[in-house]
Chain A
Amino acid sequence: MYSVNYHRATSVADAAKLVKSGDAKLLSGGMTLIPAMKTRLAAPSDLVDLSRIKELQGVKVSGKTVTIGAATTHYDVANDEKLKKACPALAHMASLIGDPAVRHRGTIGGSIANNDPAADYPAALLALGATIVTNKREIGADKFFKGLFETALKDGEIITAVSFSAPAKAAYEKFRNPASRYAIVGVFVAKGKDGVSVAVTGAGDDGVFRSKEIEAALVKNFAASALDGVKVPAKNLMTDIHASAEYRANLIAVMAKRAVAAANV
C-alpha cells in the first residue's frame, strides 16, 4: 500500500471539509477500498473515515418509510428488528453479503458508492425505488446507478442515507459464484403500490438493470407460474469465465421465479 494520511471525521460537515484535501477518498467499512489500496488499484493521498459518525448510523422505520444511514453495516441491517418486520427481504439480502467478518464492517453507503456490477444492494435499491440522500441532494436509484462502478455522485459528495417505502411483498434470490460468493445473478422483486419492479445484479453488461420482460409478466399476475415460458434476452448480458450471457439470461428467469415464490409465502 502507498503511504496515506488518515483522518477520522466527527460529523458529515467535518468529512465534507476533510475530503477536499489532496486526492482524498471517503472510507467507510473499508471492505472494498482497503483491499484495493493493498493491491495499489487505489492510491488516495488521504482517507476520511466516516465509520464513527453517529448521524450516519442505524435503521429508522416510521410508518411505511424506511431510512438507513450510509454507515450502517451489513450486519446491523441484517439484524434490525424493525427492518425485519417492515422489509424482511432487505434484511435477508444483507445477511447474504460476503461472510460474517465482511458484514461486521462493510456498509450500505460504501456498497452503493462502489456500485460493483455484482453487488447485492444496487438490485434491492433499484427494485424498491429507493432515494439516495447525499449531503447535497436526493437522487432516485434509477438515476444513481450509472454503469460499471459508476454512480451519479460528484467528487467529494457524501451519501448520508437511503430511504424507501416498504413494499407489500418483496424477496431476493442470489445464485452465487461458488468461489467468490458474489452474485452470478441476483434478482430482487418488489410489489408495491406503484406496481411490480424487478432488478437484476451480477448479469448486466452495464451493471444493475430492471427486467422489462419479467415485470410485464408479473404485473398481470404476481405468481411464479406467470413466469413459465418467459424468455429474457441475452443481449446486453455479461459473458465471462463464470457464465455465458445465455446462461445468465436463463438464470434471471429462474431466480425471478424463486423470488416471487418466496415473496408470496
Chain B
Amino acid sequence: MSDLSLMVNGKRVSGTAEDRTLLVHFLRENLGLTGTHVGCDTSQCGACVVHVDGKAVKSCSMLAVQASGSSVVTIEGLANGADLHPVQAAFKEHHGLQCGFCTPGMIMTATDMIARHPEGLDEATVRAELEGNICRCTGYHNIVKAILAASKTMAKGVKGKAKQAA
C-alpha cells in the first residue's frame, strides 16, 4: 500500500492504494471518475487515455502510485460547467461518436494532439496521431472531421475557460 497525493482535474486528491492499482482503476473506483474507460488488455485501444502532467498517456498502463505528485486531467475535467470544451462540442456537431465507448479517450488524445500542433493539423496528421485509439463504430471519418474542426476553432482564439482546462 502507498499513500498517494495528486491533482485530478485541478483538485488535490489524497488516498491510499495498493501499489498494483492501475491509474485507470484508481480514477474509476476510488474517485468515481468513470468517464475514463478500459477497452483492452493490450495497451492498444486508447479508451483509457488521460493527461498526466500535460501529456496524453494510457492510464491502463501506468500504476496509480507512479502518478503520485503529478497532475492528471480526465474527460470530466474538460467542460466548464454546462459549456462543452471545443473538442467535445465538435464531436457532438460532427457526429464523431456512436456508442461513445471510445470517445473519452479520443477526446483526450485529440486535445493533446491539438496542443502539440499549434501550427494546425491536416487529415494525414490526425489519422497518424490516432494510431493508438481504436473505434469499433464510426469508421473514424467523423472523428477526424471533428478534430480538424476543433483545431480550427481553437486556433481562432476561442478563449473560453474550457480551453484553459485542457
Kindly state whether residue B80 has any CB partner on chain A within 8 Å: no
CB distance from B44 to the nearest CB of A (A): 8
CB contacts under 8 Å to B, within A37-69, are 37-39, 47, 49, 51
- Say yes or no: is A181 at the interface (Cβ < 8 Å to chain B): yes
Kindly specify which of B49-57, B83-91, B140-148 makes contact with the partner chain.
B49-57
B: number of interface residues (CB 8 Å): 29
Does A4 belong to the interface (CB within 8 Å)?
yes
Q: Cα distance A47–B21 when bound, in Å?
A: 13
C-alpha spacing A2/B129, complex, angstroms: 33
Contact B19–A98 (Cβ < 8 Å):
no
Contact of B109 among A5, A30, A101 (CB under 8 A): A101
In the complex, the answer to whether B62 meets A30 with C-beta atoms within 8 Å is: yes
Which B residues touch A98, using CB under 8 A?
131-132
Q: How far is the CB of A38 from chain B (nearest CB, A)?
A: 6
Contacts of A63-97 to chain B: CB distance below 8 A = 75
Interface centre among B55, B56, B61 (most CB of A within 10 A): B61
| Given known A-B contacts A101-B132, A105-B61, A5 and B19 have beta carbons under 8 A apart | yes
Chain A 1-29 interface 0/1 with B at a Cβ cutoff of 8 Å (1 = within): 11111100000000000000000000100
For residue B16, CB closer than 8 A to chain A, the reply is no
How far does the Cβ of B84 sit from chain A's closest Cβ, in whole Å?
Answer: 23
What is the bound-complex CA distance between A107 and B131, given in angstroms? 18
Taken together as a complex, chains A and B put the C-alpha atoms of A51 and B109 apart, in Å, by 22
Query: Residue of B at shortest CB range from A39?
Result: B41
Contact of B109 with A34 in the complex, beta carbons under 8 Å: no
Q: Is the CB of B61 within 8 A of A100?
A: no
Return the 3 tightest CB-CB contacts between A and B, nearest first.
Answer: A99-B132, A99-B131, A6-B19
Interfacial residues, chain A to chain B (CB-CB below 8 A): 1-6, 27, 30-31, 34-35, 37-39, 47, 49, 51, 75, 98-102, 104-105, 180-181
Q: List 27 A-B contacts (CB under 8 A).
A: A1-B20, A6-B19, A6-B63, A6-B65, A6-B66, A30-B66, A31-B61, A35-B43, A38-B41, A38-B60, A47-B63, A75-B55, A98-B132, A99-B129, A99-B131, A99-B132, A99-B133, A101-B46, A101-B109, A101-B132, A102-B58, A102-B132, A104-B55, A104-B57, A105-B58, A105-B61, A181-B131
